[in-house]
Amino acid sequence: MSSLNLDDFSDLIERPDGGVRRDAEARRERQIVPPGSLGRLDDLGEWLAAAQSAVPVRPIERPRVVLFAGDHGIAELDVSARPAGSAGELVREVLEGGRPVSVLARRLGVPVRVVDMALDTDPETLPEDVVRHRVRRGSGRIDVEDALTLEEAEAAFRAGMAVADEEADSGTDLVVLGDVSVGGTTAAGVLIAALCGTDASVVTGRGGLAIDDLTWMRKCAAIRDALRRARPVLGDQLQLLATVGGADLAAITGFLLQAAVRKLPVVLDGVVVAACALVGQRIAFRAPDWWLAAHDSGEPGQAKALDRMALEPLLDHGVRVGEGAGGLLALPLVQAAAALAAELPEKPEPAVEEEPEKEE
């Protein structure tokens, strides 16, 4: 029996300040560029003002990429273009600066934090600050067994909450949230299909490396089989994450909800994070008000999840690589919206002509 009461999040999470948003809208109407002429940037600026409870909005000065990492046992079925258990190699490449997220982060001056939750690799091969939250080595094969025990799911969920608190306490003002996983998109597809009440084929995508037709069919079958195991536990979100999620997915869900509690805006990257956000919405319906969808990755499951949460992606570049890369591409757009909302001058007040004095 878990000691974690997920119902508390519904009471703890408030919506961004509606009064401040109205003040931001009024300020926008007074600026020299007509309202609506900046498109989504107007909405973004007003959303940021409400999230920050500040008019004019403050610039995004301390963004950070946070990536939760893990290997998934379902990858043993050859549902991914990468070999099972190889997520640790991706993590090392991120840390060494050789992945797309590393290049973009360097260019944008954004620090990257990687959190190992269930990599199938020796912890001694990675830095201590990466592995200190690890729950287990790899997650279970969800078509035939649970990904985690309930105790492991709770530990991973709480680790995600702890990381959100650490980021909020350190002054991070916006998080680009992603994953580094092998088999993670399969687990994400199961969660989305279960929560949206749809079939496996509707949510099964090609993954970051565009798998071939035979691999896609294996992935679809794996999601179908895991979906049968997911449906009986749909009423208990922590049990759902334990049954068909994984330690990295449980941690991402905990991070998302605690970030909303701490009023820390989050940019969502990719289908894995979208699936966790969908679980988070089931737990606390106001939580998505604190999240932005960075981009449309082309994964059908991501589109399904974002539509269910009424989140419209900022970009559509077909970036499927994951690891927060698409989220980082959206970051300059968010920063531009903040700058325009804060720095565009207001229209001068019309001069009031004095009436001539009447002669007696």
Catalytic site positions = 323
Helix (H, G, I), strand (E, B) or coil at 311: coil
CA atoms within 13 A on the CB side of 284: 28
Distance (Å, whole) CA 6 – CA 327: 27
Order of strands, sheet of 266-268, starting from the edge strand that comes earlier in the sequence: 112-118, 63-71, 174-182, 266-268, 291-293
- Structural element, H or E, at residue 180: strand 174-182
Q: How remote is the C-alpha of 43 from its chain's centroid? A: 19
Both tokens of residue 166? 């650490």
Positive or negative, the Cα torsion across 92, 95, 101, 104? negative
Distance (Å, whole) CA 11 – CA 253: 17
Q: How remote is the C-alpha of 152 from its chain's centroid? A: 21
Distance (Å, whole) CA 109 – CA 200: 39
Distance (Å, whole) CA 267 – CA 290: 9
Contacts of 360 (CB under 8 A, 6+ apart): none
Contacts of 240 (CB under 8 A, 6+ apart): 191, 194, 230, 233, 234, 279
CB 101 within 8 A of CB 178: yes
- Structural element, H or E, at residue 118: strand 112-118
Contacts of 111 (CB under 8 A, 6+ apart): 64, 65, 105
